[in-house]
Structure 1
Amino acid sequence: MIKTRVVYLCMAILLLLFVVLYAVLPNVGIETKNTEFSYENIVFNENKVTTVDIEIAEEDWADMLENATDKELKQANITVNGKRIESVAIRTKGSSSLNSVVSSDSDRYSLKIDFDYYDDTQSLYGLKKLNLNNNFSDTTLMREYISYELMEQMGLPTPAHSYMYVTVNGEDRGLFLGVEAVDETFLANNYGSNNGFLFKPDGIGSDLKYISDDIADYTGIGLKTNEGNVDQSKFIDMLKAINNGGDIEKYIDVDEMLRYFAMNTALVSLDSYQGTMKHNYYLYEDNGVFSIIPWDYNMSFGGFGVGGFGGGDRMGGNNQVPANANIKTPEDAKTNEQSDKPDMEFPNNVVQQQQGGQPNGNRNQGGFNMAMGMSGDLMSDSAINFSVTTPVSGITLEDRPLLNALLSNEEYRTKYEDYLEEVATNYLTEENIQSITKKLAVLLTTYVEADPTKFSTTVQFLEAIEGGNSLPEFAKQRSASILKQLSGELVVEASTSQGNMGMPNANDNGDMNGNPMPDGFDPSQLPEDFDPSQAPQFNQDGNMQGKRPNGGPMGMPNQGNEQLNQATVIDKNTVLTAIASLAILLIALFAVFKFKRRGR
């Protein structure tokens, strides 16, 4: 017969095992979380600046910079926050922005890193591809980041994103925005499946006008996945529905697209489907239904210029409000006729810039500038009062059948306007944007100051944080304009002008003296887990000194510490195991209690 003390001993052992399982294993370096998509918290920690150290053969790096437009893949080793991944592929990225940087004196190119190019089993905590965006055309360095934040707040599937400080062979390259690639990994993480069809439209067919029943005629739809089964796609059926008045709910996620277009319109993001370039968006078809995925927002907040410019679409339209436009009341509003203008190609030679990222005395050249709309006048009337009723630029609403099909339906338009009101009152508000910019000011200022390749100055970066020419002020005035347009108090007269595309001359060198924090900054507004101690330190000469925030010496890759800055996260399987163990323990204790009562 089993003695009571033996039973108690067994119970004590079970209790000890439970404690070990629940409290010890997550802290001994054993990954208890399913790391399939753990890159979202580890790589894209928005409260820290991720360090990305690139090791590449000097001749390969020199060739990549010399022949940037070739976008040739080179082999490199990458260390991200101390975790080293060997034999990855790296190349330059971009199109018009890449050509513009090539035409300047700068070599600050955006980069794409492919972790599984040479080994398809390799990833960075589940991440297969990483984009390092150079913040081209954005003196604030925040437009893209904030736009993605607002898209997330609006409930849209959005690429993971955070700031990253990049070195190449031990030399600083500067502050970039890291953005998750929209690929099979993104689809599986956000939609639960990547078996559908992912499109990145850019070119013939990217306006989503119906051409023919042959999908081969749509050379610009950019199918990225499932190419071998394209004949099973409902792409042509979807085009017919939105162009010919069919049942669009059968083919598109109407609610999601209304939220997307409401936010995109509020952000005045015109280097997009709503502008002349008709690109910078993804479509994902899952079981015959199309969703839209936001992409590329360095020219949001009116940065592209209302009216825009690009190839293939007629200039003009009936929504643009130039800086000198007359904003009229409903009583005296009139409709302007559309004017025809010749097609325009994006100019390659747009600016010359000095080495080290400091601006020239005159940044305008031939009527264009390297920023392609990067203007000191963030508060131009053309952007603030961009039409929400006809939210296209440089073209007519009929030229964009997807948007036209949505806004031509009274029920959908009402819902679109409801979402616009929600954006203006909850998301694109002065308070919300200011909370983001002030957090970024603390996080990024020293990195911006140290950046040897930056396009603009630290002063310009800080101007965007608060004040009369800041992103919060833009949000305040833009949201007020949206609400006035929705109520009918403000009617935006049509215009065929391109709006404000210029940029004033810059004559400061961006040198910072003393504390560069903006006036009125309140550190208490930062999140509890925000860590300002990671920011690099500077000596009196303004040079970065000491150690990199994540522990390694400045300019040298971190070695060995592969779990650095990695939060301990326990997944649902571990939780279920712990619950099951606890249940077994309780049952066993109950059995002991019953055993003792029976006197055995």
Structure 2
Amino acid sequence: MIKTRVVYLSMAILLLLFVVMYAVLPNVGIETKNTEFSYETIVFNKNKVTTIDIEIAEEDWADMLENAAAEELKKANITVNGKKMENVAIRTKGNLSLRSVVASDSDRYSLKIDFDYYDDTQSLYGLKKINLNNNYSDSTLMREYISYELMEQMGLPTPAHSYMYVTVNGEERGLFLGVEAVDETFLANNYGSNDGFLFKPDGTGSDLKYISDDIADYTGIGLKTNEGNIDQSKFIEMIEAINNGNNIEKYIDVDEMLRYFAVNTALVNLDSYQGNMKHNYYLYEDGGVFSIIPWDYNMSFGGFGVGGGDNNQIQDNANMKAPNDAQINDKSEMKPPNNGKQQRPNGDRNQGGLNMGFGMSGDLMADSAINFSVTTPVSGTALEERPLLNALLSNDEYRAKYEGYLEELATNYLTEDYVKNITKQLALLITTYVEADPTKFSTTEQFIEAVEGENSLPEFAKQRSESILKQLSGELVVEATSQGNMEMPNLDAIGDMDIPMQRPEDFDPSQAPPFNQNGDNQGERSNGGGPMQRPDQNGGPMWPNQGDEQLKQEIVIDNNTILTVIVCFALLIVALLFVFKFKRRGR
């Protein structure tokens, strides 16, 4: 016969087990759903600014800044939101932006952090590498962030991204955009496998024009993975297909690429395959089929300048006007470089250094960007010189899909309201950090101007989406006639740009309506669930307690934990029923 105290003891044990499983285990460092990739919610939390503290030998840091163009790796310890990673590799990074900053008086370089360089078993919640982008040439600090958001909305595999505030040896470096590296981890997370071939084209062959049947002749295709098995790649077959009008569906993910080029075109992102530089994209070959991965959007929203020799003639069919002589010439938007040095800000946050260099338009609302052609969406080159895009748009069925995606973007995402929601949310989150940033390229006023007003990202979205819809309907015709590639300016000099410095009169960041990542209004501010962080008396952000910060990290409980909790709860219910019947029988 079972004694009452035995039953109650069993009940107590079951209850304790239930409490432990439900309340304790998810918070003691047990890895969460998709443990390999939990960095997406922990490191790249879009509702707060991640803190990155870099500890590096002073002589190594000084050498890295002095010889930034060398991009030499240095050893450092990195603390991310209180989690310390030792023996980590760090270096400067960039292409045109790196050279431009080297030529200026600034030392605000973008950085690449490699967590597993010295220890290939080491990662940050599954993350192997992270890029800290300095937002060069983007006084809005939002072009790249919003571009990736739109790519995500259109279902494209997109690097994780969020804002991060960086210190080096206790000294503030400022606000950067953290972007996940496109590497084996990214591929495994987004494609379920990283056994294929990852290419980052930049140079000979990056236009994807046919050269020969020897892959060695395509010296700029930038193979990043599986180098030892390159002979098994279908790269040459893909090149032949898109150049010769063969069955391209056999070699490329057509629908994905149509979505990619629709977003790129809508955003007027011309520091890309569609511009004269023919770079800033990845190709991933999996099972002989190529996908495209977006990359590097600090010059989107027309920031690279349209043209390179293109004379875009605009005809307004609604008013039945014949084509006029008005030209949107990209060269008129480019300021010639001078021999002056860019001045970076000192202690006075109202005096920001101008951040515009090679190829960049200082006017966000330039007609050449607003009315960039959606039918011939290239700049500084001819559509025939970009065979991948040409093969897609030469097919009536594919072009119709491409135009459908453009219409979806112009109607749902690249709209004034949608972009305004994002910019106001970001302003609420990061304005304090922008103010505290000691190395920023431009002023807080220039940043705030991007949120609202006549020269803002929402206004660009409004006018650009209207232009897209008019072009698709035939009401507006924009024809581009290519006249060859542009002459490259001197990269050793930085061009001056005139940028308005006034804060919009009706803008109040504290009154910005919060929203979630889908743009929906919420009932309270979204900043990691708490109030907006303010700078301390020294001007630096007031960080929350690191222990509290880690406890606030988003937890995604995996299926095994959920199943265990359910089983324990079921056992608890059965035990309660047993006790009830046991007592009724008088035992």
Question: TM-score range, shorter-chain basis?
Answer: 0.7 to 0.9
**Partners of 1:351 and 1:363 within 8 A in 2:** no
Residue 505 of structure 1 and its aligned partner are, at CA, apart by 3.1
SS class of match (2:421): helix
SS class of match (2:564): helix
Residue 17 of structure 1 and its aligned partner are, at CA, apart by 1.7
**Partners of 1:33 and 1:574 within 8 A in 2:** no
1:575 corresponds, among 547, 562, 567, to 562
1:105 corresponds to 2:100: no
- Check 1:101–1:212 CA distance in 2 against 1; reply closer, same or farther (3 A cut): same
Q: Given residue 544 of structure 2, which amino acid in structure 1 is its aligned partner?
A: N
**Partners of 1:421 and 1:483 within 8 A in 2:** yes
Q: Given residue 46 of structure 2, which amino acid in structure 1 is its aligned partner?
A: E
Distance 1:180 1:530 in 2: 21
Distance 1:207 1:588 in 2: 69
Partner of 2:535: 537
Distance 2:510 2:579 in 1: 67
1:387 corresponds, among 366, 373, 391, to 373
Distance 2:34 2:557 in 1: 8
1:432 corresponds, among 409, 418, 434, to 418
Partner of 2:498: 505
**Partners of 1:96 and 1:348 within 8 A in 2:** no
**Partners of 1:91 and 1:113 within 8 A in 2:** yes
Q: Given residue 462 of structure 2, which amino acid in structure 1 is its aligned partner?
A: K
Partner of 2:450: 464
Residue 350 of structure 1 and its aligned partner are, at CA, apart by 6.8
CA shift digits 1:263-318 (9 cap, x unpaired): 1100000000111111001111111111111000000000000114xxxxxx54xx
Q: Given residue 459 of structure 2, which amino acid in structure 1 is its aligned partner?
A: E
SS class of match (1:258): helix
Q: Give structure 2 stretches of 5+ with no counterpart.
A: 490-494, 516-520
Q: Given residue 550 of structure 1, which amino acid in structure 2 is its aligned partner?
A: P
SS class of match (1:274): coil
2:429 corresponds, among 415, 431, 443, to 443
CA shift digits 1:506-529 (9 cap, x unpaired): 586x8x999983597445846664
CA shift digits 1:11-51 (9 cap, x unpaired): 55334422321233223454455531111111111111111
More displaced 10-residue stretch of structure 1: 349-358 or 430-439: 349-358
Q: Percent identity?
A: 73
Partner of 2:315: 327
Partner of 1:130: 130
Distance 1:6 1:287 in 2: 61
More displaced 10-residue stretch of structure 1: 121-130 or 29-38: 29-38
Partner of 2:35: 35
**Partners of 2:69 and 2:92 within 8 A in 1:** yes
More displaced 10-residue stretch of structure 1: 529-538 or 248-257: 529-538
- Check 1:292–1:29 CA distance in 2 against 1; reply closer, same or farther (3 A cut): closer
Q: Given residue 427 of structure 1, which amino acid in structure 2 is its aligned partner?
A: Y
SS class of match (1:533): coil
SS class of match (1:563): helix
Partner of 2:543: 549
The number of residues matched between the two structures is 562
CA shift digits 1:109-150 (9 cap, x unpaired): 100000111111111111110100010011111100110111
Q: Given residue 46 of structure 1, which amino acid in structure 2 is its aligned partner?
A: K
Distance 1:182 1:351 in 2: 36
CA shift digits 1:390-440 (9 cap, x unpaired): 111111111111111111111111111111000000000100100010011
**Partners of 2:425 and 2:512 within 8 A in 1:** no
Partner of 1:198: 198
**Partners of 2:337 and 2:496 within 8 A in 1:** no
Distance 1:427 1:513 in 2: 24
Partner of 2:518: none
Residue 100 of structure 1 and its aligned partner are, at CA, apart by 0.6
**Pairwise mapping of residues 473-488 of structure 1 onto structure 2 (< 5 A)?**
473-488=459-474
Partner of 1:312: none
1:421 corresponds, among 391, 394, 407, to 407
Partner of 2:299: 299
- Check 1:414–1:513 CA distance in 2 against 1; reply closer, same or farther (3 A cut): closer
Residue 332 of structure 1 and its aligned partner are, at CA, apart by 5.8
Residue 581 of structure 1 and its aligned partner are, at CA, apart by 3.5
Q: Given residue 438 of structure 2, which amino acid in structure 1 is its aligned partner?
A: P
Q: Given residue 577 of structure 1, which amino acid in structure 2 is its aligned partner?
A: T
Q: Give structure 1 stretches of 5+ with no counterpart.
A: 309-314, 552-557
Distance 2:343 2:496 in 1: 17
- Check 1:466–1:403 CA distance in 2 against 1; reply closer, same or farther (3 A cut): same
- Check 1:401–1:351 CA distance in 2 against 1; reply closer, same or farther (3 A cut): farther
Q: Given residue 383 of structure 2, which amino acid in structure 1 is its aligned partner?
A: L
- Check 1:248–1:481 CA distance in 2 against 1; reply closer, same or farther (3 A cut): same
SS class of match (1:544): coil
Partner of 1:517: 508
Partner of 1:61: 61
Partner of 2:357: 370
SS class of match (1:537): coil
Q: Given residue 559 of structure 2, which amino acid in structure 1 is its aligned partner?
A: K
RMSD: 3.4
Distance 1:49 1:363 in 2: 25
- Check 1:588–1:286 CA distance in 2 against 1; reply closer, same or farther (3 A cut): farther
Residue 595 of structure 1 and its aligned partner are, at CA, apart by 8.8
**Partners of 1:359 and 1:455 within 8 A in 2:** no
Distance 2:322 2:450 in 1: 34
**Partners of 1:159 and 1:182 within 8 A in 2:** yes
More displaced 10-residue stretch of structure 1: 276-285 or 10-19: 10-19
Distance 1:385 1:352 in 2: 33
After TM superposition, the score normalised by the length of structure 1 is: 0.85
Q: Given residue 63 of structure 1, which amino acid in structure 2 is its aligned partner?
A: D
SS class of match (2:285): strand
Distance 1:241 1:514 in 2: 55
Partner of 2:207: 207
Distance 1:170 1:138 in 2: 26
**Pairwise mapping of residues 66-465 of structure 1 onto structure 2 (< 5 A)?**
66-308=66-308, 315-316=309-310, 321=312, 326-329=314-317, 352-356=341-345, 370=357, 372-375=359-362, 377-465=363-451
- Check 1:355–1:386 CA distance in 2 against 1; reply closer, same or farther (3 A cut): closer
Distance 1:247 1:436 in 2: 40
Distance 1:171 1:515 in 2: 35
- Check 1:462–1:16 CA distance in 2 against 1; reply closer, same or farther (3 A cut): same
**Partners of 1:91 and 1:112 within 8 A in 2:** yes
More displaced 10-residue stretch of structure 1: 18-27 or 516-525: 516-525
- Check 1:77–1:203 CA distance in 2 against 1; reply closer, same or farther (3 A cut): same
Residue 360 of structure 1 and its aligned partner are, at CA, apart by 9.1
After TM superposition, the score normalised by the length of structure 2 is: 0.87
